[in-house]
Amino acid sequence: MNDKYTAEDVRKIVAEKDIKYIRLQFVDIFGTMKNVAITATELDRALDNKVMFDGSSIEGFVRIEESDMYLHPDPSTFVIMPWFDVHGGIARMICDIYKADGTPFEGDPRYALRKAIKRCNDSGYEFYVGPEMEFFLFQTDADNKPTTITHDEAGYFDLAPIDNGEIARINMVKTLTQMGFKVEAAHHENSPGQHEIDFTYSDALNAADNIVTFKMVVKMIAKEHKLHATFMPKPLGGLCGSGMHCNMSLFKNGSNAFYDPNGKEQLSAEAYNFMAGLLKHAKNMAAITNPLVNSYKRLVSGYEAPVYIAWSMSNRSPLIRVPAVRGNGSRLELRNPDPSCNPYLAMALMLHAGLDGIEKGLEPPAPIGRNIYNMSDSDLDEAGIERMPRDLKEAMECLHTDELMKAALGSHILENYTKAKDIEWQEYTNCVHPWEVSNYIVKY
């Protein structure tokens, strides 16, 4: 995607490329992509911010009496969708959502991230994020419904013919590249049927836009290969789940603010402060970074996912890892987020948490050099290492204890998100699971 595109550029490209349809995309508070499709003849009206939709039809948005919402397209997100083979192309723009009175809609996740970015910029920093996106590819049945049968039995970095999804993954990378992504790496992950595609870091808003676009592309290309792509954190028990590790850095005056050649481990005070803020708020933002009942089936020991709130330079079991690269590549890798999260909200909370650490001069505890999974409870207590929430209910309780995280979301998102997650938890606890039947029906 091109941050230099202006509204006039969009008009010119639509005319030159014979684009017939434009999808005006946005996400709801759960990160689900929505869109209003218009014809090219309506483009001027869209770029003048005059396209309206019914907000009451979007879960968690507004009541019926407040339903008129306006889409403000961001020209920098304009991209042609290359997988549509139709007469006259199809393009899209991601939109900000405004109310009828011309003010930003408080329930728009993009607005929540914009507020966090403004706080960051007002402090003299720019926030950059490089996500590592993991997902599973499953076979589909005769009715094209997804199964839980993986398409291969491959493992970490395996190649075809063992990795039967390699061709699909190559086509995903090819399509993403056509759409302006700079893909850094693509490979088979640890579990059968699991893949990872990483793209170059960018400013937080662009990174969040890239994530929602990425998920759409992966699902579309998988479907073309008669596969189903899922970003469900833990679709299969006994295997590693899918994460969305976030590599983060702050830049100031064009230089990486986390790098200090004279600092401890060549990291700056800001890097340690930012890390301390992330550690302080980690379990309180888990309801956003790990938003599903299923998310907490991934955050268990033994499957390469972080369980404990700690950091390390040398191993991958803690919550935060500091990769060895320095200079402008200096960064912190937060390892608990998963790809089911709303990236706008997740990045907003991460940024607020890190800035809180800088503003308050917080210091992180000592790094953990050993495998945390092998530490006893007494060792953990002695080191003062806390655990991430064990389930969604606990995560929501933690969120409501943190005034900064609540303020970052805003009252509208917090209230509607809480209602939805309460329902999700209640439905889950009311369900009789196969494990219960297999373990209890004979015994009792």
- At 70-88, the pLDDT tens digits run 999 999 999 998 876 656 6
38 & 184 share domain: no
Answer yes or no: is 58 within a domain.
yes
What pLDDT is attached to residue 376? 79
Answer yes or no: is 442 within a domain.
no
Answer yes or no: is 82 within a domain.
yes
**Contact 399/405 with Cβ under 8 angstroms?**
yes
Between CA 60 and CA 67, with CA 63 as vertex, the angle to 5 degrees is 100
**Coil, helix or strand at residue 227:** strand
126 & 190 share domain: yes
**Would you place residue 156 in the very low, low, confident or very high pLDDT band (cuts 50, 70, 90)?**
very low
What pLDDT is attached to residue 317? 74
- Amino acid at the residue 215: K
59 & 169 share domain: no
Answer yes or no: is 1 within a domain.
no
- For tokens 């030159």, name the residue: 16
Answer yes or no: is 440 within a domain.
no
241 & 320 share domain: yes
The catalytic residues are: 54, 132, 134, 189, 196, 245, 316, 333, 335
What pLDDT is attached to residue 249? 96
What pLDDT is attached to residue 159? 47
Out of 105, 133, 158, pick the residue that ends a domain. 105
- pLDDT digits 0-9 by tens, 98-143: 998 999 999 999 999 999 999 999 999 999 999 999 999 998 888 8
153 & 46 share domain: no
Answer yes or no: is 224 within a domain.
yes
Phi, psi of 371 (to 5 degrees): -70, 115
* Mean pLDDT, rounded, of the chain: 89
What pLDDT is attached to residue 244? 95
Out of 105, 135, 168, pick the residue that ends a domain. 105
**Coil, helix or strand at residue 164:** coil
CA distance 307 to 297: 11
278 & 408 share domain: yes
270 & 221 share domain: yes
248 & 318 share domain: yes
Domain count, the chain: 2
Answer yes or no: is 395 within a domain.
yes
101 & 171 share domain: no
142 & 75 share domain: no
Query: Which residues 6+ apart lie within 8 Å of 254 measured at CB?
Result: none
User: Which CATH number do you get for residue 156?
Assistant: 3.30.590.10
Domain that holds residue 135: 115-435
Q: What percent of the chain has pLDDT over 90?
A: 68
38 & 182 share domain: no
Nearest to 46, CA basis, from 109, 95, 12: 95
Residue 405's region, left for phi above 0, alpha for psi from -120 to 50, else beta, is alpha
CA distance 195 to 134: 6
**Would you place residue 354 in the very low, low, confident or very high pLDDT band (cuts 50, 70, 90)?**
very high
Out of 40, 73, 105, pick the residue that ends a domain. 105
Answer yes or no: is 110 within a domain.
no
- pLDDT digits 0-9 by tens, 222-267: 998 889 999 999 999 888 899 999 999 999 999 999 999 999 999 9
pTM of this structure = 0.93
Which range among 62-66, 83-87, 274-278 has the greatest average pLDDT? 274-278
The answer on pLDDT for 41 being more than 60 is: yes
**Of residues 57 and 349, more confidently modeled:** 349
User: Looking at residue 104, what DSSP letter applies?
Assistant: B
- pLDDT digits 0-9 by tens, 367-377: 887 777 777 78
User: Which CATH number do you get for residue 69?
Assistant: 3.10.20.70
Phi, psi of 361 (to 5 degrees): 60, 35
Q: How far apart are the first and last CA of the chain?
A: 59
Query: Which residues 6+ apart lie within 8 Å of 376 measured at CB?
Result: none
- For tokens 């969708």, name the residue: 81
101 & 119 share domain: no
**Coil, helix or strand at residue 53:** strand
- pLDDT digits 0-9 by tens, 277-323: 999 999 999 999 999 999 999 999 877 889 999 999 877 678 999 99
- pLDDT digits 0-9 by tens, 172-224: 999 999 888 888 888 787 788 889 988 888 999 999 999 999 999 999 999 98
Q: Is 420 exposed, middle or buried (0-12, 13-18, 19+ CB in 10 A)?
A: middle
What pLDDT is attached to residue 66? 56
The residue count of the chain comes to: 444
The answer on pLDDT for 431 being more than 90 is: yes
**Contact 356/300 with Cβ under 8 angstroms?**
no
